[in-house]
Structure 1
Amino acid sequence: MTDRHIADVVIIGSGIAALVAADRLSYHKNVIIITKSKKENSNSCRAQGGVAAAISRNDHWTNHFSDTMVAGNFHNDEEAVETLVQRGPELLRALIDKGMSFDKDARGHLVLGQEGAHGIRRILHAGGDATGKALVDFMLNRLRINPKVKIIENMLVVDLLVEENHCFGIKVKTNSGRSKIIYSRDTILAAGGSGGLYSFTSNDPTVTGDGLVLAYRAGANLVDLEFVQFHPTLLYVNGEVKGLISEAVRGEGAVLITEGGKRLMHGIHPLEDLAPRDVVAREINRAVLNGEQIFLDISMIKDFKKRFPTITELCVENGVDLTAGRIPVVPGAHFHMGGVEVNQQGQTSVEHLYAIGEVACTGVHGANRLASNSLLEGIVFATELAEHLAFERSEVFDIPTIESDDKTCKELHLPEEEEIKTVMMKYVGIIRDKTSLQTAIEWLERYLPSEDKNFDLDALTHEQIGVYNMLQAAWLITTSALMREESRGGHYRSDFPEEETNWTKKKIVRKLIKNNERIAQK
């Protein structure tokens, strides 16, 4: 017998977007947060760099807008970007007023960091390089004393409940394998990205594209799935990725070098080591494929251990001697620009189903996310959604009748998780082409069942559902990458070189001037 519960709002995921939305919504509604592991297991909690915002006197939101558009190869939704950069400073000040503490200097002024593709120092950070954890801890402390928010850990969402394009809840499984139905007036996907589909990644191991496939199976529109950002600098020791080395390190002066000490990015891009992430990641990847080991030279950074305590601890734990001034690095999957198609209020193509954070695609990041815009996106668009739902007229909530399942458990032959990660890294990684993408699709389709309405996903174990979701998410990303026959941002096709597309530097400059003129007229 399946247990059944009712809530005003159910949120799937526990990153910054989920927590901000729950906090805001709790003034008006009862909220349940569901997460498949521990509530701290999110990419938000791992975010080192900080939060970007035009908050200083010598900065302006139009500057942040321009940097975001250039980094995104002008594939961005301009209105969404304007919302992001205009609301950001206001909402960060509101968090500070509520008690959130960002790093300050001896005079009590906010310390602003520099990161790649930003034209000015505008990155707020906390705990040096533990900004995400500081924000998540701050929000969790607020929610712990909030009687209208309930957080349920270690519960797997199997599927969304949808009837006539109306989402009315979720089907979940506990760790013991018991099934439950949770009805809700509104359901919010905040399940994060898909970095865990790759063997080299900065993401939490739990982040494997679940949100994408839940939306896909519910019939929601997905968009721009081919745009996967690879962070240039992950700690690389003994052939394995051990964690993230924040872009803020390069913002403080560190440079990429070869084993012989040659500057890697010199002459490659006008911004050199602070070029957009896709450019830097491809250059490191080329060097690695040529058999070189790339290092981050940190010898010029004073008080490195004090400025970057989290990174220092990570390096020491993995036997990297920081006194040598070199950190071995390699690129890895970091952020998914594409996702569930939404408007600025997070509404998907399915009624009463919303998406925020990395799983959503507002178009704000375009083809390549600007550094430290991810936490900002979570805060801004979670607030936009919460404000929309808070003042939305309540409807009579009729619970649809769920007929008993007559599905059968179809036998599946599933690969190991590591096999999926290896295939994605090799064939759908930093550089792709038609042959590699077709190879990946053929491999994935060996294991994916054909369309079968009688297939009972609920009858699988937690582990089987996890692998099946990874296969589906990987297939969605790969087929999208095959369809986009150009190179742009995080999607680089060697059979469609960038210089042969419409996005040359001159056209980008002309587009930027045109956007600045449009903004000035407002």
Structure 2
Amino acid sequence: MRKTNVIIIGSGIASLQLARSLRDDLNVIVLTKSNVYKSNSNLAQGGIAAAIGKRDHPDKHYMDTLVAGSHHNDPEAVLELTNEAPFLIQELNKQGCPFDKNENGELLLGMEGAHSEYRIVHGGGDATGRTIIQFMTSNMNPNIEIIENFFVYELLMDESSNRCIGAKGKYSNGQIDYYFAEHIVIATGGCGQLYSYTSNAETVAGDGIALAYQAGAEITDMEFIQFHPTLLFTGKKAVGLVSEAVRGEGARLITKEGIPIMDGVHLLRDLAPRHIVSQTIYSFIEKGKQIFLDISEVDHFENRFPTITNLCERNGIDLKKGLIPVVPGSHFLMGGIKTDLDGRSSVKGLYAIGEAACTGVHGANRLASNSLLEGLFFGKRLAEIVNAQTITQPVDSTFSENIECYMNISRPLPSIKEIQASMMENAGIVRTKKGLMKQKAWLESFDIENWAEKKLDHLTTEEIVQVFMMITSWLITNSALERTESRGGHFRQDYPSENDHKWLRKQIIQCKKMIKDEKHEQIKAALAT
């Protein structure tokens, strides 16, 4: 058992930015499921969007973000994010983060889909995430302790004050331990591993969202899943991301016969918003047609994109032919734990930042290269909130546990591959009421609604991951079923258009208490009739 001032669960860019920005006299513990480099942040090939070019302005970045997000965004949150972006980049640059520069020492700016200006800052060509994470981990303050291979599976609550006071988890050897602090922060990323095809790190399976849901926090916008259009597809599986920056440099999406597929679909063609490109590719794949990224017009591809070149070579793709086979896959969650602009969730003492949080900055579809920016912005912003508070003694570890309410697995849990396949088929790129109802029924057949009430101590780590995947899958399916329109990353084939009258900026919020109350009212109504 340990006591500290701040606990951060997760080790991506939002987590490390927060940890580095906290006061030196605060003791900080970062708990991470695997090692510090197993995160989506570390895998991020794309860069960071910031309006620092001579022709650019934060207002342009603001408008691009709203358009990409189908105006489901919180305008105030977007305005603050885009206004702060140039400062965040310059701050990292001054600290020595090795961003890519031209011969004059100026930051190189790239173009990506749905951006109106060249404003994407990169590091290491197509290894921006790794560049920043390595810089941050090599410049950590001595008050920060990173504990690896510790899987948090329960948030500890003080029932008398209804406050989150700690986290419980298991080490790789199965030993259970407890950590207590005044501030508990979830920064575990999204839930890409819920789908068969994904760009996400193998650790990113929705744990933090399931944790928060179990603790009673509000979860919102879970129907909005961004599917990246171009994952390298070989051996009947997706094996890695092919950055949107490749299309920004002139690559085209074509059929085997060489026909461009985005002509006539959108004014921006191959640089259209990601959901439009993904849906277009998916429509061809459904007909049994493989789609390729034609890179023949991209100058010096191997030098410009060393990470992608290495990925292709490892998987037997001959780049001399100029064609990379691609498939869309889950990439980013726009929804998550509902927070305010300072990262506060609806549960006292519990915060969320990064992809695990839903602040409203992304709306229904994230603008390319706004994700690393989000981590930098909200990590620093939450640090300012915590830094302004008076240091208190670490919270008393007295709390109550219902040790008798263990989860009883009445039937074998579905395998991770089964969960992924069912989500891809029924709650993936193209959705229908029939498919979503089928998925919801399948999930609930495993007594999914009762899992959030149970203790998971006696389960293996893999079984807990499966439980969390099922809970998060249910939250996505439930939201997707309720939103009877198509917007951003949520596409309903039976409701293919946006419905501003009913759904513009309307959030679908889920939490345990609300769902319990709804079930109670349904039972009362049924008995009354």
Unmatched 5+ stretches in structure 1: 509-522
Give the equivalent residue in structure 2 for 1:512.
Answer: none
Corresponding residue of 2:383: 386
Matches of 1:349 and 1:409, distance apart in 2? 26
Deviations 1:103-160 (A, max 9, x none): 11122221111000000100000111000000000001012xx210000000010110
> Matched residue of 2:450: which SS?
coil
- Residue 5 of structure 2 corresponds to residue 11 of structure 1: no
Alignment pair present for 1:254 and 2:251: yes
Amino acid at match of 2:150: M
Distance of aligned partners of 1:449 and 1:306 in 2 relative to their CA distance in 1, 3 Å threshold? closer
Aligned amino acid, residue 501 of structure 1: N
386-395 vs 33-42, which moves further:
386-395
Given candidates 27, 34, 37, the residue that maps to 1:37 is 34
- 1:178-217 Cα distance to aligned partner (Å, 9 max, x none): 1111110100000000000000000001100001000000
Q: Secondary structure at the match of 1:491?
A: coil
Q: Distance in 2 between matches of 1:155 and 1:250?
A: 39
Tell me the residue number matched to 1:517: none
Q: Take 2:232 and 2:456, find their aligned partners in 1: how far apart are those partners?
A: 37
Confirm or deny that 1:490 pairs with 2:489: yes
TM superposition shift of 1:177 = 1.3
- Conserved 8 A contact 1:88-1:380: yes
Match of 2:509 in 1: none
Partners of 2:448 and 2:471 within 8 A in 1? no
- 8 Å CA contact 1:406, 1:454 repeated in 2: no
Q: 1:345 aligns with which of 338, 342, 358?
A: 342
Cα RMSD over matched residues?
1.6
Instruction: Give a deviation string over 1:465-519, Cα, whole Å, max 9, x none.
Output: 1111111111111111111111100000011112x6339xxx99xxxxxxxxxxx
Q: Name 1:322's counterpart in structure 2.
A: 319
Instruction: Please say if 1:420 is aligned against 2:419.
Output: yes
- The residue that corresponds to 2:432 in the other structure is 433
2:143 aligns to what? 148
The within-5 A match list for 1:25-424 is 25-143=22-140, 146-163=141-158, 164-395=161-392, 397-399=394-396, 401-403=398-400, 405-412=402-409, 413-424=412-423
Contact conserved, 1:407 with 1:455, CA < 8 A, in 2? Answer: no
Q: CA deviation at 1:31?
A: 0.4
Structure 1 residue 450: deviation in Å?
4.5
Matches of 2:88 and 2:427, distance apart in 1: 37
Distance 1:98 1:283 in 2: 42
* Counterpart residue identity of residue 217, structure 2: A
Contact 1:448–1:471 (CA under 8 A) maintained in structure 2: no
CA distance in 2, matches of 1:452, 1:321: 48
Deviations 1:366-409 (A, max 9, x none): 00000000000000011100011100234565415224543243
Relative to structure 1, is the Cα distance of residues 47 and 458 closer, same or farther in structure 2, using a 3 angstrom cutoff?
same
Distance (whole Å) between structure 2 residues aligned to residue 448 and residue 154 of structure 1: 29
Letter in 1 for 2:434: T
2:516 maps to none
Deviation at 1:162, TM superposition (A): 1.5
Equivalent of 1:501 in 499, 502, 525? 499
Contact 2:3 2:395 in 1 (8 A): no
Aligned residues with identical type, % of pairs: 49
| Alpha-carbon distance in 2 for matches of 1:294, 1:142 | 43
**How does 1:460-471 map onto structure 2 within 5 Å?**
460-471=459-470
Q: What residue number does 1:516 align with?
A: none
Q: Which deviations, in whole Å up to 9, do the C-alpha atoms of 1:59-78 show, x marking residues without a partner?
A: 10000000000000000000
User: Using a 3 Å threshold, how does the CA distance of structure 1 residues 277 and 405 change in structure 2: closer, same or farther?
Assistant: same
Aligned residue in 2 for 1:513: none
User: For each residue in 1:333-385, what CA deviation from the matched residue of structure 2 results, as whole angstroms up to 9, or x when unmatched?
Assistant: 00000000011110001111110000000100000000000000000011100
Instruction: Give the total of aligned pairs.
Output: 499
- 1:459 shift after superposition: 1.5
Inter-partner Cα distance in structure 2 for 1:238 and 1:386: 45
Q: 1:323 to 1:171 in 2, by over 3 A?
A: same
1:445 Cα offset (Å)? 1.2
Displacement of 1:427 after TM fit? 0.3
Conserved 8 A contact 2:180-2:395? no
Which residue identity does 2:415 align to in structure 1?
Answer: E
Within 2, Cα distance between the matches of 1:404 and 1:230? 39
CA positional deviation for 1:275: 0.4
SS state at 1:142 partner: coil
- Structure 1 residues 60 and 453: alpha-carbon distance in aligned structure 2, compared to 1, 3 A threshold: closer
Cα distance in 2 for residues equivalent to 1:450 and 1:391? 40
Render the CA deviation track for 1:44-102: whole Å, top value 9, x for unaligned: 00100110000112110000000000000000000110111011110110111110011
- Say if 2:467 is the partner of 1:472: no
Alignment check: 8 A CA contact 2:180 2:394 kept: no
Aligned-pair distance for 1:285?
0.3
Amino acid across the alignment from 1:199: S
Q: Distance in 2 between matches of 1:165 and 1:479?
A: 26
- SS for the counterpart of 1:469 is helix
- TM-score, normalised to structure 1, is 0.93
Per-residue deviation at 1:455? 2.8
Report the secondary structure of 2:199's partner residue: coil
**Measured at CA, do residues 337 and 285 of structure 1 come closer, stay the same or move farther in structure 2, by a change above 3 Å?**
same
Q: Is the 2:231–2:242 Cα contact (8 Å) retained in structure 1?
A: yes
Partner Cα separation in structure 2 for residue 83 and residue 177 of structure 1: 43
Q: Is the Cα–Cα contact under 8 Å of residues 284 and 331 in structure 1 kept in the other structure?
A: yes
Provide the C-alpha distance between the structure 2 equivalents of 1:280 and 1:453, rounded to a whole number of angstroms.
Answer: 36
SS of equivalent to 1:458 = coil
* In structure 2, distance between residues paired with 1:387 and 1:232: 36
Q: 1:365 corresponds to which letter in structure 2?
A: H
